[in-house]
Amino acid sequence: MQQNVFISGTDHGLGASLAEAWADRGARVFAGVLRLPPGDRPEPRAEGGTIRRVVLDLSSDDQVAQAAAIVRQSVGHLDLVVNNGAILGDITRTAFEPLDFNEMARVYNINVLGTLRLTQALLPLLLAGPTKLLVNISSEAGSISSCNRQSWYAYAMSKAALNMQSALLHNLIRDKGGRVLILHPGHVRTFMQGAEDVAAVLTPDEAARLVLANIDRSGAAAGDRPLFLDPQGRVLSW
Ligand SMILES: NC(=O)c1ccc[n+]([C@@H]2O[C@H](COP(=O)([O-])OP(=O)(O)OC[C@H]3O[C@@H](n4cnc5c(N)ncnc54)[C@H](OP(=O)(O)O)[C@@H]3O)[C@@H](O)[C@H]2O)c1
Please check whether residue 237 lies inside any domain of the structure: no
Please check whether residue 67 lies inside any domain of the structure: yes
Domain that residue 217 falls in: 4-229
CA distance 3 to 26: 8
Please check whether residue 158 lies inside any domain of the structure: yes
Please check whether residue 236 lies inside any domain of the structure: no
Please check whether residue 234 lies inside any domain of the structure: no
* Residues above pLDDT 90, as percent of the chain: 92
Please check whether residue 220 lies inside any domain of the structure: yes
Start-to-end CA distance of the chain, whole Å, equals: 35
Q: How far is the CA of 137 from the centre of ligand 1 (A)?
A: 9
Please check whether residue 23 lies inside any domain of the structure: yes
Q: Where are the alpha helices (DSSP H) in 128-232?
A: 153-174, 204-217
The H or E element containing residue 120 is: helix 115-127
Reported as half-sphere exposure (CB side, CA atoms, 13 A), residue 37 has a value of 12
| Number of domains within the chain | 1
Q: Which atom of ligand 1 is nearest to the CA of 58?
A: 32
Q: Whose CA is nearest to atom 7 of ligand 1?
A: 139
Q: How far is the CA of 88 from the centre of ligand 1 (A)?
A: 8
Q: How far is the CA of 84 from the centre of ligand 1 (A)?
A: 6
The H or E element containing residue 103 is: helix 101-108
Predicted confidence (pLDDT) per residue in 178-225, tens digit: 999 999 999 999 999 999 999 999 999 999 999 999 999 998 777 889
Of 224 and 125, the structure prediction assigns the larger pLDDT to 125
Predicted confidence (pLDDT) per residue in 171-180, tens digit: 999 999 999 9
For ligand 1, which residues put their CB under 6 angstroms from it?
A: 8-15, 34, 56-59, 84-87, 110, 114, 137, 139, 184-185, 187-188, 190-192, 200
Q: Is the pLDDT of residue 42 over 90?
A: no
CA distance 147 to 159: 12
Please check whether residue 41 lies inside any domain of the structure: yes
**Which domain CATH number covers 39?**
3.40.50.720
